[in-house]
Structure 1
Amino acid sequence: MSRKCKLTNKKPLVGNKVSHANNRTKMRQQPNLKKKRIYIPEEDRWVRVKLSARALRTVSKKGLLAFLKDKGLRLKDVLA
């Protein structure tokens, strides 16, 4: 499975790590992803979602279906 947030589409960033001597080596910054079970009271069921910590905070505040509606997504898109 890819290291990508299903809700916000955050994915790894690629860049150079630069030392004091100006040596450059490739590095990747991974997104802070978590696998969570989220309860949807409207459908009376639990779903498993792989999402970033930032998205988890927003989902906790708004609710999953309201968050998806704001982003223009459907629940089926996120779970697939």
Structure 2
Amino acid sequence: MSKVCQLTGKRPIVGNNVSHSNRKTKRRFLPNLQKKRFFIPETDQWVTLKVCTSAMRTISKLGIYEYLTRLEKEGVDTGVILEQGS
């Protein structure tokens, strides 16, 4: 299972653990990913996304439909097909 946010594209980055004696060993900084179901009332559908918590904050501010349409205009592939419901 890849550790990449579907909406923002955040992925693990590499850094160092630095001990008290200043010895450095490699480590990974993982994004805070959560698997979450969202309901899109405009299209009357549920979508399950693996998103980071910073994307969840943006979704709660803008709304899931608005956020997905903005990403679609920017050319980001989210894996969500926004079809208008009847």
> Shorter-chain TM-score: which interval?
0.7 to 0.9
Q: Provide the rounded CA distance (Å) in 1 between the counterparts of 2:70 and 2:2.
A: 24
For the pair 1:79 / 2:62, whether they are aligned, the reply is no
Question: How many pairs does the alignment contain?
Answer: 78
The CA deviation string for residues 8-50 of structure 1, in whole angstroms up to 9 with x for no partner, is: 0111110111112121111111100000000001110100000
Note the C-alpha offset of 1:73.
Answer: 4.4
Structure 1 residue ranges (4+ consecutive) displaced by more than 4 angstroms after TM superposition? none
Alignment correspondent of 2:46: 46
Larger helix share, 1 or 2: 1
Residues 26, 10 of structure 1: alpha-carbon distance in 2 compared, 3 angstrom cutoff? same
**Residue ranges of structure 2 left out of the alignment (5+ in a row):** 81-86
Q: Provide the rounded CA distance (Å) in 1 between the counterparts of 2:75 and 2:38.
A: 16
Note the C-alpha offset of 1:58.
Answer: 0.9
Alignment of 1:1-80 (within 5 A): 1-71=1-71, 72-73=74-75, 77-79=77-79
Q: Secondary structure at the match of 2:78?
A: helix
Q: Provide the rounded CA distance (Å) in 2 between the counterparts of 1:73 and 1:54.
A: 20
Q: TM-score, normalised by structure 2?
A: 0.80
Q: TM-score, normalised by structure 1?
A: 0.85
Q: Provide the rounded CA distance (Å) in 2 between the counterparts of 1:53 and 1:2.
A: 16
Residues 44, 61 of structure 1: alpha-carbon distance in 2 compared, 3 angstrom cutoff? same
Please give the root-mean-square deviation of Cα atoms over the aligned residues, in Å: 1.6
